[in-house]
Structures are given as structure tokens and as C-alpha cells.
């Protein structure tokens, strides 16, 4: 697991049961700039799969009187198992975790949205689509990336 080109503390991890690893805690995201994270899995370069996560944490302009709590961290589950662009339009455009709901904008649900490759499902954000999660006084937003 990397932030930019720097390997994160606790990496690499030995994952023996892949069904038990569906949460990636990001506790040091930078405010008002694009954050770059990546996760790589595989024993060697031939079997290695890398997923890139790019997002921005932006301050909500309507709540400038609040500061970001540095002592707390955010845990969100982005487990996309079972999701599909074949879901009803209302269901496929919804995501929530622990009472927090995300907002989908400009998805065409053809080459972005809930995609599956190599039997792994993920949310693809591309072609001007945007996915944002309002969290207190900040918004976690992913744009033009695979999450």
C-alpha cells in the first residue's frame, strides 16, 4: 500500500483470506489537493495487480467555521461485492456506509460505475463522472479514477 510513491506503515500485509480485507483506512489525506494512493497484490510482477485511488478532500464552503479533527480518523467500506450496472437506476446510483451516503454525478453507467474485471467488482469514476461523500465539514470526492 502506497501514498504517492511512499510505502505506508504496516505494508506489506500478509492476507491469507481475501474476503477479510475490504477496508483501506486512509488516515493522512491532505486537504485541498489531489491525494494518490495505490494497493498492489501479488507474489511477483507477472501476477501483481495494482489499483490506483485518486481523490481530493475539500472543505465545505458552507461550514468554514469548523476545523478538521486531526485526532479522529475516517473509516469507510468501499466493498463493491455484488454491485453491478445492471441494478435498477435508483439502486446502482446509491452508496451508503454507517449512515453516510455518497452522491453520484454524470455517470453514464456504460464505461463507468460498478465494473467487474478479473472477477473483482469496483467503482470506476471516469469520463467526467464524480462521486462525493459529505462527511461533517469536509467532502471526500473521487473524480476520474478507479476506486
Cα separation values, 70 from 67, 80, 92, 99, 132, Å: 9, 28, 33, 21, 21
Question: Average pLDDT in the 119-142 region?
Answer: 74
DSSP code of 83? -
What is the pLDDT confidence band of residue 28, given thresholds at 50, 70 and 90? confident
Phi, psi dihedral angles at 92 (to 5 degrees): -65, -25
How confident is the model at residue 22, as a pLDDT?
Answer: 57
How confident is the model at residue 65, as a pLDDT?
Answer: 57
DSSP code of 109? S
Question: pLDDT averaged over the chain?
Answer: 75
How confident is the model at residue 30, as a pLDDT?
Answer: 80
- Whether this prediction's pTM lies above 0.85 is answered by no
Amino acid at each position: 500500500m502506497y501514498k504517492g510513491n511512499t510505502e505506508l506503515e504496516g505494508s506489506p500485509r500478509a492476507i491469507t483470506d481475501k474476503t477479510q480485507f475490504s477496508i483501506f483506512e486512509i488516515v493522512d489525506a491532505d486537504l485541498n489537493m489531489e491525494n494518490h494512493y495505490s494497493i498492489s497484490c501479488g507474489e511477483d510482477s507477472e501476477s501483481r495487480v495494482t489499483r490506483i485511488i485518486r481523490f481530493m478532500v475539500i472543505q465545505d464552503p458552507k461550514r468554514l467555521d469548523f476545523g478538521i479533527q486531526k485526532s479522529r480518523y475516517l473509516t469507510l467500506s468501499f466493498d463493491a461485492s455484488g454491485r453491478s450496472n445492471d441494478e435498477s437506476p435508483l439502486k446502482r446510483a446509491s452508496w451508503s456506509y454507517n449512515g453516510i451516503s455518497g452522491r453520484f454525478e454524470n455517470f453514464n453507467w456504460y464505461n463507468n460505475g460498478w465494473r467487474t474485471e478479473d472477477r473483482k467488482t469496483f467503482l470506476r469514476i471516469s469520463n467526467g463522472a464524480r462521486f462525493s461523500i459529505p462527511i461533517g465539514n469536509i467532502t471526500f470526492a473521487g473524480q476520474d479514477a478507479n476506486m
